[in-house]
Structure 1
């Protein structure tokens, strides 16, 4: 199926696993561009309507389960002859591989894993879904240490009968006694399997093992487990009591709900040992093994207490050989007894079958499968059969079967019944309307606080993208949707966004811009602006010559810009009456330039400053000085000034050397 596209959207890539009725591939969602896991039904089952109906139910049931500890189902459909389910792609390793690699886990880690599995089962059980195959291979440990429960491939709703009977579908090492015996299953069967998972995680081995599935199943029914502390002394006694209560043979003696188990494990992790001890019953310290008995028997006999190595007496070769011979004989007798039972059942079935053939009045037929048919079609099929009769028709709510469709039948399909048997149907009323609840306000809460507040009113929390919010501490909830105080339906998901604190952004550089342009640029970037004025010898009046801060800053920060008033005005030295050389020296010392103009004067000595153009000016300005040339020769004796000459930036007397 390499590079096949399902539903015009999901590209199938490499195979990552194979189950009892499906193959799982890694794939790509071309619309969202994300990696997904794609489960496709094996070809030999796709053409079977009952398997197809079960596959569809699995998708619908799993899609309804929203939990951080359950693998998410995104989509499902049919493409040609291929049924497929699109799921969350998980990275990590399954718990079984982890135990094989690392051995027994720390008691706290076992309790943490058990707590998360219990939370996942609690969600499933609230939807009337029994997983039926809880085992370490179906528990994915993610890189962050949290788990996801996978594979609802043999899970089913409590009222569904898509399998032909209650036969053992789970792995023998983890199935409950009632599952082995084909009895009605409930939430406590998953709790038993979870107890075995915790037992294996705590000790590194399963509590019951054997040469084949039958021998293991017999032990599940008849034998008590060796206490975990006898296998691994490091197991905490409080955790041991929790595990053994989960593994009680009678479902009534176990924790009755996954939620109850979760709270006990939570109390254990929190160190509230009194609460744990009050909620559990510890099995006898000594394990017991059964006498040879068929499945369902409960008689047991005590084993002697396990001695320490220093009290075990060495065996002789003859004793050892005799012991092995006795064990082989017991095993042989058990097999003979089991096969004898099977032979008797087969003989009875043959006799009944022959009797049915020779006696037409006792002929029976197999009950058809009316599940997933509409009510009208199912009743019509019963009428047209002329073998069965209509029975009662009831209605029930269902979260997995659409309205108007048969969700249950009695007798079950596949059973052999006599002519005239009434077929009772249960028709789906669709999903039960959820109760309206008020959404709590989550602003300022931590995610764990928010999840608890939402769970109290039957809502589910989900973290969205984080946002910047200067008024909420980093890591706390800043926004939510729907808003607090609004109405929602029980089971709805409330999305919340965590605060990233103030947002830091680059501060635009506005030096050299005019004041208005600089202010607009900073405000557009999310900053407040403060304007300060100052003198500048280098920047034109009205333009920014400096700013603070620069680089990056939190949005909303005030940025100060310094706007030029032009060059600074200072006092000009009074050089009137000084010689030209002294005047130039004085102006140079203060940073002024000068422009010399010469004029005849009969009252001011030659080379002396008659006047200057300013007594104050901007730094670096040019000051004009009028220098006396002495009396005008053309008007000797006349005090009236004569012609003038100008010499800019020089002290040279225009008459020097000419007289």
Structure 2
């Protein structure tokens, strides 16, 4: 596969990673002479190719430094390939696996970046649905980038969410497990789980067993806090079981930038409807 020319333009280099729907390769754009990342959709079914188009459209509809930029979508034979900017650095999951939990201040900065990115995603009418450490890229230039829109939901999309839930059991919201329609509040719950993992070094809900993990998510009962310190109220606000009482982007941002703000003195926003937030 290495050195293969895709779409008459993109020369494959090293394999960057592999997921449920395909593999991501570092490649060279031989037309413009720049590095890119290309995602190969390996499933041959037509539905998978349609899903790849929806993924590319979802990510491309968001213009924000905190989301991965989509550069092209090409067909090579029966295969669909999504061409993205090449990002340096490591995922948050890699950092946690190799270096351990991060300092509170570093997690606070990551949280602010991700809140801004999710606000832009939600304004575009999209729910990411897979916020987790493996989908957060920490770049050498300081960018914090939300990647992999593979199971993102867009209002009016040709592909509707599958029955049940998609994603990682330890990073899914209670309402997703109950089969509720995707909504921005679900991304905020999984952001809370991601921030917990960043500062505590482990998922708040992973119990080592699928059933026990899903039960912990359903009950929204995170593992004990040990290292979060001033981040704890923010994470707890994001991990509220009831989406209507879960902290919004604005509430979490205010608590992160205002010293001494806690869960009891950040005013609750009005209960959110189950509709998509487009503004």
Tell me if both proteins adopt one fold, taking TM over 0.5 as the criterion.
yes
Please give the per-residue CA displacement for 1:505-542, whole angstroms capped at 9, x wherever unaligned. Answer: xxxxxxxxxxxxxxxxxxxxxxxxxxxxxxxxxxxxxx
Corresponding position: 1:72 with 2:72: no
Please give the per-residue CA displacement for 1:165-217, whole angstroms capped at 9, x wherever unaligned. Answer: 34221111110001112112200000000001111112122212223222201
**2:89 aligned to which of 87, 92, 107:** 92
Corresponding position: 1:149 with 2:115: no
User: What are the within-5 Å matches in structure 2 for residues 562-641 of structure 1?
Assistant: none
CA deviation after TM superposition for structure 1 residue 227, in Å: 4.6
Q: Based on CA coordinates, which of the two structures has the bigger radius of gyration? A: 1
CA deviation after TM superposition for structure 1 residue 120, in Å: 1.0
Corresponding position: 1:236 with 2:217: no
User: What are the within-5 Å matches in structure 2 for residues 166-181 of structure 1?
Assistant: 166-181=163-178
Q: Is the Cα–Cα contact under 8 Å of residues 168 and 182 in structure 1 kept in the other structure? A: yes
- SS for the counterpart of 2:179 is coil
TM-score (normalised: structure 1): 0.39
Give the distance between the partners of 1:60 and 1:223, measured in 2 at CA: 32
Give the distance between the partners of 2:90 and 2:146, measured in 1 at CA: 12
User: What's 1:279 paired with?
Assistant: 266
User: What's 2:252 paired with?
Assistant: 261
Q: Is the Cα–Cα contact under 8 Å of residues 139 and 148 in structure 1 kept in the other structure? A: yes
Q: Which runs of no fewer than 5 residues in structure 1 stay unpaired?
A: 282-457, 459-659
Corresponding position: 1:8 with 2:5: no
Give the distance between the partners of 1:206 and 1:214, measured in 2 at CA: 15
User: What's 1:22 paired with?
Assistant: 22
Please give the per-residue CA displacement for 1:469-492, whole angstroms capped at 9, x wherever unaligned. Answer: xxxxxxxxxxxxxxxxxxxxxxxx
CA deviation after TM superposition for structure 1 residue 25, in Å: 0.9
Give the distance between the partners of 2:267 and 2:29, measured in 1 at CA: 47
Please give the per-residue CA displacement for 1:31-60, whole angstroms capped at 9, x wherever unaligned. Answer: 110010011110xx23x2222111111111
Give the distance between the partners of 1:108 and 1:254, measured in 2 at CA: 23
Q: Is the Cα–Cα contact under 8 Å of residues 54 and 157 in structure 2 kept in the other structure? A: no
- SS for the counterpart of 1:96 is helix
**1:140 aligned to which of 133, 137, 140:** 137
Please give the per-residue CA displacement for 1:244-295, whole angstroms capped at 9, x wherever unaligned. Answer: 0100000011123x35433442x23xx3x348752268xxxxxxxxxxxxxx
* Structure 1 pair 100–13 and aligned structure 2 pair: CA distance change class (3 A): closer
CA deviation after TM superposition for structure 1 residue 11, in Å: 1.4
Give the distance between the partners of 2:19 and 2:72, measured in 1 at CA: 19
User: What's 1:354 paired with?
Assistant: none
Give the distance between the partners of 2:252 and 2:261, measured in 1 at CA: 15
Q: Which one has more relative contact order, counting CA pairs under 8 Å at least 6 apart?
A: 2
Corresponding position: 1:63 with 2:60: yes
State the Cα RMSD in Å: 2.2
TM-score (normalised: structure 2): 0.89
Q: Is the Cα–Cα contact under 8 Å of residues 104 and 229 in structure 2 kept in the other structure? A: yes
Corresponding position: 1:214 with 2:211: yes
User: What's 1:401 paired with?
Assistant: none
Is the strand fraction higher in 1 or 2?
1
User: What's 2:271 paired with?
Assistant: none
Corresponding position: 1:127 with 2:124: yes
Please give the per-residue CA displacement for 1:594-625, whole angstroms capped at 9, x wherever unaligned. Answer: xxxxxxxxxxxxxxxxxxxxxxxxxxxxxxxx
User: What are the within-5 Å matches in structure 2 for residues 47-446 of structure 1?
Assistant: 48-160=45-157, 162-163=159-160, 165-228=162-225, 231-232=226-227, 235-237=228-230, 239-256=231-248, 258-265=249-256, 267-268=257-258, 271=259, 273-274=260-261, 278-279=265-266
* Structure 1 pair 203–277 and aligned structure 2 pair: CA distance change class (3 A): same
* Structure 1 pair 187–164 and aligned structure 2 pair: CA distance change class (3 A): closer
User: What's 1:31 paired with?
Assistant: 31
- SS for the counterpart of 2:81 is strand
Give the distance between the partners of 1:27 and 1:130, measured in 2 at CA: 28
Give the distance between the partners of 1:82 and 1:16, measured in 2 at CA: 18
Give the distance between the partners of 1:216 and 1:262, measured in 2 at CA: 28
